[in-house]
Amino acid sequence: MSFSTQPTLENDKAILYPLQESDFEALYAVASDPKIWEQHPNNDRWKKDVFRIFFDGAMKSRGAFKIVDKATGSIAGSTRMYDYNAQNNSILIGYTFYATAYWGKGINHAVKALLLDYLFQHVIEVYFHIGANNIRSQIAIGRLGAEKVSEQQVAYFGELPKLNYVYKIAKEDWLARKQFAS
């Protein structure tokens, strides 16, 4: 299987489609809720002009996804993979957001598991950038078995650098965790 940073991925809860320019209005309809962004590094992404910059960065990344709720066909949010490093055999996941209707419903876990299952066919380590103030995401990524390994200033596309925590999951840890859960 060849490695792509924008495959279409699917499990019982979600479908991840490569993000397209034509998705802007529908994704902004989800992203326009200020509550989504309260803990994110840039908490005014609910504003259309600010979200446009975020979306443009997603498009330029060539690793962004539209997350669709498989049961309803509704857009649940977006995520992306980026900074593939062949030398270190690693990649990052970040820029994830969900409509508040999906908070606590298991879709984040399902989406991250889908991404990790795919990525660990191609890399041995996956890192996550999570805003220093995004307690909700820090708890969620810890539940997947990721461990905080550093802190880093991250310059988001078109935005000033913000403090992020870097979390990591190694392939062997993910596979052991899945085997234990089975």
pTM of the model: 0.93
- Tell me the DSSP string of 104-161: TTTHHHHHHHHHHHHHTTT-SEEEEEEETT-HHHHHHHHHTT-EEEEEEEEE-TTS-E
CA–centroid distance for 108 within its chain: 9
Q: Please determine, for residue 158, whether its predicted confidence score (pLDDT) is greater than 80.
A: no
Reading the block at residue 27, the tokens are 């994704």
**For 89-137, how does the pLDDT look when each residue is reduced to its tens digit (9 = 90+)?**
999 999 999 999 999 999 999 999 999 999 999 999 999 999 999 999 9
DSSP state of 18: E
Q: Tens digits of per-residue pLDDT, 165-181?
A: 999 999 999 999 887 76
Contact at 8 Å (CB) between 47 and 83?
no
DSSP string covering 81-102: EEEEETTTTEEEEEEEEE-GGG
Q: In this predicted model, what pLDDT tens digit does every residue of 31-41 receive, in sequence order?
A: 999 999 998 88
